[in-house]
């Protein structure tokens, strides 16, 4: 009885082992067939969409899971018969290839989304720095995958797209150059013989490619480079405008009732520096774009220089003559015409300098309507007064012969005034 039971058991073990071996062989065939199918059907073609590719990958991963489930079901029998669990390199390779396929298609999907967002968004709102960073990250990831999937069509297509995009980034950066002005865009339109509105919401990255801007990168690069150089001129002009909006004439009180220019050293230094800058701009090939502004400031600063120098000349003459005509009644009596003329100049000079004290901005004062003419007229009148005074004093040197060549005009005036004030009975020794 025991022998029969043992015999039946042995027979069952043989049948069980035979079934296990058969199932194991079928399992191995399943692994190999799955590997062959994956090698043929794995989504490596650029003709597929990401959704189609992910569907294929998902299906194969389910089949891999089924293979592992079958292997798990076999494991109990393998343990009973002390048989080794089969390890198939093909199954590992399949899993690896599916993971690589998943990674490349994730990159394709994400890049397509990013590019579509850039492509359809307003061109003047694109974040160029972000675009360059994101594209660089994608390119790095795709390059890393290339060590394993370089022969896949989708990898080659993706790498080509990224390379082409990165090659167009300088073009995009040039077009988005903040220095680009409407005149530069107008020049581009003339060269392309195309009309478009670069400021409209419809002007997108897609438009840039569709109207052929990507075909003229050298032209756009030159325009952008010129725009940068013109921007330097534009910024220098703004600096000059801002600076001269803050530069005042250094005015101080004089004899408590007048005002005069105290110092011009700093003013003339800035004048010289800015005149050189404007002269350099005028010699630039970009002068035409800023002609009116450069000419305006060149003229304004030239006028400031001329008026300030003339005021200083007038001021020196006025200070000298004021000490004579406002202090010597006798001179005024002897030179009544010149005295009246000086009183007129004195009032004008006082008015001009009072205005300058209230509003000392150099450009505002010196470019005021009629200022140059007013100061020139004062200078001419003071020169006339000075000549008459010199002529008059020269005649008095004959009265005081010892003063000739050794006494200045001021001293002579003082002697003359003192002499005229003496009583007639007091002799004046000469």
Looking at the DSSP bridge assignments, the partners of residue 248 are 361
Range picked from 239-253, 388-402, 409-423 for highest mean pLDDT: 239-253
For residues 160 and 167, the answer to whether their CB atoms sit within 8 Å is no
For residues 305 and 268, the answer to whether their CB atoms sit within 8 Å is yes
Identify the band that residue 19 occupies on the pLDDT scale cut at 50, 70 and 90: low
For residues 220 and 213, the answer to whether their CB atoms sit within 8 Å is yes
Predicted pLDDT of residue 29: 82
pLDDT tens per residue, range 280-336: 999 999 999 999 999 999 999 999 999 999 999 999 999 999 999 988 788 899 999
For residues 248 and 360, the answer to whether their CB atoms sit within 8 Å is yes
Looking at the DSSP bridge assignments, the partners of residue 220 are none
Please report, in angstroms and rounded to a whole number, the separation of the first and last CA atoms in the chain: 178
pLDDT tens per residue, range 140-169: 999 999 999 999 999 999 999 999 999 999
**What one-character-per-residue DSSP string does 369-411 give?**
TTHHHHHHHHHHHHHHHHHHHHHHHHHHHTTSGGGTTTS-HHH
Predicted pLDDT of residue 426: 40
pLDDT tens per residue, range 25-73: 777 888 888 889 999 999 999 999 999 999 999 999 999 998 788 776 6
For residues 386 and 314, the answer to whether their CB atoms sit within 8 Å is no
**What one-character-per-residue DSSP string does 181-222 give?**
-HHHHHHHHHHHT----TTSTT-BHHHHHHTTGGG-HHHHHH
Is the pTM here over 0.85, yes or no?
no
Where are any strands of DSSP class E within 240-330? 250-254, 258-263
Provide long-range contacts, Cβ within 8 A and 24+ apart, for 75-84: 77/16, 77/20, 77/23, 78/20, 78/24, 80/16, 81/17, 81/20, 83/20, 83/24
**What one-character-per-residue DSSP string does 234-259 give?**
HHHHHHHHHHHTT-B-EEEEETTTEE
Name the 3-class secondary structure at 363: helix
Distance CA 397, CA 29 (A): 137
Distance CA 33, CA 273 (A): 84
Residue 29 burial (CB count, 10 A): 10
Distance CA 331, CA 338 (A): 9
Predicted pLDDT of residue 76: 63
Distance CA 360, CA 366 (A): 10
The whole-chain average pLDDT of the chain stands at: 87
Using CA atoms, how far residue 69 sits from 27, 62, 78, 195, 347, in Å, is: 10, 10, 14, 65, 112
The pair of structure tokens assigned to 222 is: 């030159």
- Alpha carbon dihedral 304, 307, 309, 315, in 10-degree steps, equals -140
DSSP state of 124: G
């Amino acid at each position: 009885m025991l022998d029969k039971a043992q015999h039946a058991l042995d027979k069952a073990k043989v049948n069980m082992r035979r079934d296990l071996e058969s199932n194991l062989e079928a399992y191995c065939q399943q692994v190999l067939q799955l590997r062959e199918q994956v090698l043929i059907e794995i989504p490596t073609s650029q003709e597929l969409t990401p959704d189609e590719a992910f569907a294929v990958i998902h299906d194969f991963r389910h089949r891999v899971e089924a293979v592992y489930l079958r292997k798990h079901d076999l494991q109990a029998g393998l343990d009973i018969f002390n048989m080794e669990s089969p390890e198939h390199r093909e199954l590992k390779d399949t899993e690896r290839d599916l993971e690589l396929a998943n990674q490349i298609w994730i990159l394709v999907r994400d890049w397509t989304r990013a590019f579509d967002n850039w492509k359809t968004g307003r061109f003047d709102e694109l974040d160029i720095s972000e675009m360059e960073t994101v594209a660089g990250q994608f390119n790095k990831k795709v390059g890393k995958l290339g060590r394993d999937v370089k022969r896949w069509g989708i990898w080659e297509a993706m790498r080509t797209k990224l390379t082409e995009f990165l090659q167009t980034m300088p073009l995009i950066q040039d077009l988005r150059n903040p220095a680009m002005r409407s005149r530069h865009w107008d020049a581009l339109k003339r060269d392309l013989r195309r009309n478009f509105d670069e400021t409209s919401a419809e002007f997108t990255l897609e438009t840039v490619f569709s109207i052929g801007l990507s075909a003229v990168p050298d032209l756009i690069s030159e325009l952008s480079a010129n725009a940068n150089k013109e921007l330097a001129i534009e910024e220098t002009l703004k600096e000059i405008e801002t600076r001269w909006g803050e530069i005042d004439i250094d005015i101080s009180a004089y004899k408590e009732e007048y005002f005069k220019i105290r110092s011009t050293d700093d003013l003339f230094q800035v004048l010289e520096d800015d005149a050189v800058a404007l002269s350099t701009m005028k010699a630039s090939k970009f002068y035409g774009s800023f002609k009116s502004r450069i000419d305006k400031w060149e003229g304004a600063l030239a006028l400031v220089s001329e008026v300030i120098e003339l005021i200083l000349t007038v001021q020196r003459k006025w200070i000298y003559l004021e000490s004579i005509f406002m202090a010597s009644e006798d001179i005024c009596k002897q030179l009544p015409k010149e005295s009246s003329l000086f009183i007129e100049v004195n009032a004008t000079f006082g008015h001009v300098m009072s205005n300058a004290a209230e509003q000392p901005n150099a450009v505002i004062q010196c470019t005021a309507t009629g200022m140059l003419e007013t100061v020139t007229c004062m200078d001419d009148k003071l020169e006339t007064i000075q000549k008459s005074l010199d002529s008059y004093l020269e005649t008095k040197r004959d009265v005081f012969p010892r003063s000739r060549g050794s006494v200045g005009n001021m001293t002579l005036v003082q002697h003359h005034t003192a002499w005229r004030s003496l009583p007639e009975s007091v002799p004046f020794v000469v």
